[in-house]
Amino acid sequence: MKIEFVDIINFRKLKSCRVDFSEKETVFVGANNSGKTSAMDALVTFLKKTRHIKTTDFTLSNWIVINQIAIDWIKNKNPEDLNLNIEIWHPHVPAIDVWLKVEDNEIHYVSHIIPTLDWSGGRLGVRLIFEPTNIERLYKSYKSVFEASQITCKSRKNGNTLNLWPRSMREFLDTEFKNHFSIKAYILDPSKSNEEKPQDLPKNLEPIDGNPFDNLFKIDIIYAQRGFSDPNSAEGGINNDRRLSAQLRKYFEKHLNPYELPDTNDLDALEAIEAAKTAFDDRLKESFKASIGELEGLNYPGFSDPKIHISSKVNPSESLNHDTAVQFNVLHNNLNTDDNWFYLPEKYNGLGYQNLISMIFNLIRFRDEWMRTGKAGKKSESSDRFIEPIHIVLIEEPEAHLHAQVQQVFIKKAYEVLRNHPNLGDKVQFSTQLIISTHSSHIAHEIKFVSLRYFKRTPAASINDVPYAEVVNLSNTFGDNSDTAKFTSRYLKTTHCDLFFADAAILVEGPAERMLVPHFIRSKFPNLDRSYISLLEIGGSHAHRLRPLIEMLEILTLVITDLDSIEKDSLQKVRPEKGKNYRTGNDTIKSWVPEKTKLDDVLTVENEDKVKNKLVKVAYQYEINVNYLGREETTIPYTFEDALVLSNISLFKGKTSATGLIKKMVDAINNSTIVDACQKMFNALDKNSKKAEMALELLYTTEPSELEPPQYINEGLEWLQEELNNKQKDYIIQNSTEGGKT
């Protein structure tokens, strides 16, 4: 049995959001504020129930309708017209649909949530919804306090307006939520589980009693522990103390303590503890004999020959509660290991490794509690509770605990640790599903592509709407194109998957652009510089291979590439010129944007036609005007390097002591005509030219602010900056003028 997917409904910006779960690990990725943490909180809130839903957990725009329901209640003077049906609340309150994949031999686990006798196996769904516990009581309670506040306000004789609580249903529920709302469960129709949107509940459907997932799920959580103003920071509980000694002590108490339900394996330990206690008590009596004798001779009124007895208590668990309970041997050759001065307390180990060890031990403890290992199993023998078939482990932003170097170690080992038990491993009787949210490209780098779930932000589209999140299942991104999927996954692994966390992406042709474009952004485009831009060096011949991923993620992308002009009937590279019947050899230009092959067509494409779906813009060289030796000339750059020189002629002319490719460029622009200059630059830019060295030399000898970006790159960065500014205008909220603010 496994959770196949969940639909999160009306929870913060997750208006209606489907999250598919992988068989093993599922990793939530996406840019900041894209909904990853909201999804984790929804799972914790509805499944673990360790935190309470607050008014701020409702999708913001839904309060407009909810407040209107309350307004209609107050306005209604005819009880027969009063709408107190629970169905009017269902489209606007937080909920989660949980869909299970159930095998035939697992039906005994789920008999209580099978919808009909006709169910023949497969999927089963349950909706957990946060709704009014008793809608009539909610109506009466709200109406009484609202009308009382209005009467009080009207009683003021000075005519001044005074707004008393509650001005709206939102204000009322800010303080009265727990008294009027609770989570209820409804069985869903499996025949409608393939619909894109969550199904509507039938009218008058009765909720089921109790928790439908009792005895089905064991849920464990490791929180991010952000600190500061984290609203969930107080919920970490047992995870707050990350010292291994603390983890060992808790594990000992639950699974190993010989005093708890002792068996024959504990007798030696108990005998040794008792012997130590007796010897220690004898030593105490001897040591305190003189002092206690003085106390017994006080003959204080009310005492009759008081006899003081000293008895120690040996608690094995407390013996682990000190700074040196866990130590690390600093010798690797196992020599002199009996000498204490070769051991250091755990606090002297690196913080990243302390946290790694602690988190892994947490996973061990979660697993062994689930499998009833040791004394935990004995305690449960008298209980009728069986081992839950599904173990769900939620880990929020493990990078908050771990250094970059150990993040990859953790993610490689986490699931393996959770299955390292004789009853688990590759067996299918019990399922483990690990769900992780992360901002770390190091973690995304180590996870299989099919396990990634990308959260993408979608701005509000209309008045009174709010931005919302959608989830992309990356296992479906490439369809049947296995070659493209293989290339993309391999390429992204070489770049540590920054793309999944970026506000926008820039794909560049080569190392020179990769080094200089960030300097153009820092010196010329301050708004872009404040954004998280993923800069990928992929080359014009391969950029189009990322097309399925970029279009699926809907991430703003600027492709900075070259014309790659070639002769009509061969692959011979030529300097770009109009009217020569040349072609472009660039696959991105030919197959993505603007989908042109003839060079003359490529050069005459309008700027707006270099943009596809308002999402991707391709920037490449085209005919420009150049002031050359005091004359206005037109020319077409061949590649980034000569376009950079033509945009900064005066600067390059001043580099008289330059060497390498820069010297060749300087020599070229000292020719008497622009045609000769461009031809000599074209000749210099052969396959052996050291373009990266040219970029490094420019960074070393030139202030970035002095270097003007080529015109085609400038236009591309301007487009990206403007689109990012528009994309970041998330909220379009209009205040309601009736019944209080929304």
> Which range scores top for mean pLDDT: 234-238, 242-246, 254-258, 682-686?
682-686
**Highest mean pLDDT range out of 461-465, 476-480, 509-513?**
509-513
Q: How much is the average pLDDT of 125-147?
A: 95
* Residue 535 in this model has a pLDDT that exceeds 90: yes
- Nearest partner of 251 among 352, 345, 373, 353, judged by Cα: 373
| Mean pLDDT computed over 610-634 | 95
Instruction: Look at residue 651 and tell me whether its pLDDT is greater than 90.
Output: yes
pLDDT greater than 60 at residue 741:
no
> Would strands 556-560 and 504-508 be described as parallel, antiparallel, or unpaired?
parallel
- Contact criterion met (CB below 8 Å) for 455 and 29: yes
| C-alpha–C-alpha distance, residues 396 and 377, integer Å | 29
Q: Do residues 16 and 442 make contact, with C-beta atoms less than 8 angstroms apart?
A: no
Q: Give the residue-averaged pLDDT of 83-102.
A: 95
Name the band, by pLDDT with cuts 50, 70 and 90, for residue 721: very high
What integer is the mean pLDDT of 520-526? 93
Tokens of 737: 């003028």
Record the pTM.
0.81
- pLDDT surpassing 70 at residue 304: no
Top pLDDT among 118 and 62 is at 62
| pLDDT number for residue 236 | 42
Confidence check: pLDDT of 79 > 50: yes
Whether the pLDDT of residue 466 is over 80: the answer is: no
For residue 518, give the H/E element and its range: helix 511-524
Closest CA to 54 of 19, 2, 93, 27: 93
Q: Determine how many CB atoms are found less than 10 A away from the CB of residue 133.
A: 13
Q: What is the mean pLDDT of residues 343-356?
A: 58
- Contact between 67 and 74 under an 8 Å Cβ cutoff? The reply is no
Residue 335 pLDDT more than 70? no
Q: Is the pLDDT of residue 105 over 50?
A: yes
Does the pLDDT of residue 546 top 80, yes or no?
A: yes
Say if CB 707 and CB 698 are below 8 A apart.
yes
Predicted confidence (pLDDT) per residue in 389-425, tens digit: 999 999 999 988 787 778 888 898 999 999 999 999 9
CA dihedral 144, 147, 152, 157 (to 10 degrees): -160
Q: Per-residue DSSP letters for 252-287?
A: IIIII-TTSS--GGGHHHHHHHHHHHHHHHHHHHHH
pLDDT of residue 155: 77
Tell me what percent of the residues of the chain surpass a pLDDT of 70.
78
Taking the alpha carbons of 529, 531, 537, 540 in that order, is the dihedral positive or negative?
negative
Q: Do the strands 95-102 and 14-20 form a parallel or antiparallel pair, or are they unpaired?
A: unpaired
| More reliable by pLDDT, 690 or 186 | 186
* CA Rg value for the chain: 35
The mean pLDDT value of the chain amounts to 83
Q: Give the pLDDT confidence score for residue 430 in this predicted structure.
A: 95
pLDDT at residue 561 is higher than 80: yes
The whole-number average pLDDT for the span 128-135 is 96
pLDDT mean over 197-216: 92
Pinpoint the alpha helices (H) of 419-509: 441-446, 482-494
* pLDDT score of 172: 95
Q: What's the pLDDT at 314?
A: 62
Alpha-carbon dihedral of residues 174, 180, 183, 187, nearest 10 degrees? -130
Query: For residue 647, what pLDDT is reported?
Result: 96
Best-predicted range by mean pLDDT (331-335, 475-479, 583-587) = 583-587
DSSP strand pairing (25-30 vs 431-437): parallel
pLDDT tens figures, 373-396: 876 666 666 566 789 999 999 999
Q: Which residues pair with 468 in a beta bridge?
A: 458
Check residues 216 and 77 and name the one with the higher pLDDT. Answer: 216
Please answer whether residues 660 and 693 qualify as being in contact, where contact means their C-beta atoms are separated by less than 8 angstroms: yes
Q: pLDDT grade, residue 286 (50/70/90)?
A: confident
Give the pLDDT band (50/70/90) at residue 296: low
d(CA 93, CA 553): 28
Instruction: Report whether pLDDT(167) > 60.
Output: yes
Q: What's the whole-number mean pLDDT along residues 238-256? A: 61
- What digits encode the pLDDT tens for the residues 483-500? 666 767 777 766 657 888
CB distance 212 to 113 below 8 Å: yes
Give 7's strand partners: 18, 97
- pLDDT for the residue 736: 42
Q: What is the 3-state secondary structure (H, E, C) of 222-238?
A: ECCCCCCCCCCHHHCHH
pLDDT band at 104 (very low <50, low <70, confident <90, very high): confident
Measure the CA–CA gap between 453 and 29, rounded to whole angstroms: 6
- In sequence order, the 6+-apart residues with CB closer than 8 A to the CB of 142 are 70, 73, 166, 169, 172
pLDDT at 279: 79
Q: At what angle do helices 640-647 and 674-684 cross, to 10 degrees?
A: 140
Secondary structure (H, E, C), 104-117: HHHHHHCHHHCCCC
pLDDT-derived band of residue 290, with 50, 70 and 90 as boundaries? low
Predicted local confidence at residue 241, as pLDDT? 59
Handedness of CA 416, 418, 423, 424 (dihedral sign): negative
Residue 239's pLDDT is what?
A: 46
Between 303 and 12, name the one with better pLDDT.
12
Q: Answer yes or no: is pLDDT of 309 > 90.
A: no
Indicate the SS3 state at residue 197: coil
Distance from C-alpha of 445 to C-alpha of 27, rounded to nearest angstrom: 11
Report the pLDDT value the prediction gives residue 704, as an integer from 0 to 100: 73
3 pLDDT tier (thresholds 50, 70, 90): very high
Question: DSSP string spanning 311-336?
Answer: -----TTGGG-STTSSEEE--SS-TT
Give the model's pLDDT for residue 229: 38
Amino acid letter, 561: T
Instruction: For 589-607, write each residue's pLDDT tens digit.
Output: 999 999 999 999 999 999 9
Two structure tokens written together for 167: 């001005």
598/568 Cα distance (integer angstroms): 9
What band does 567 get if pLDDT is binned at 50, 70 and 90? very high
β-pair type (25-30, 452-458): parallel
What is the mean pLDDT of the segment spanning 546-568? Answer: 92
Q: Of 7-21, 234-248, 678-692, 725-739, which one has max mean pLDDT?
A: 7-21
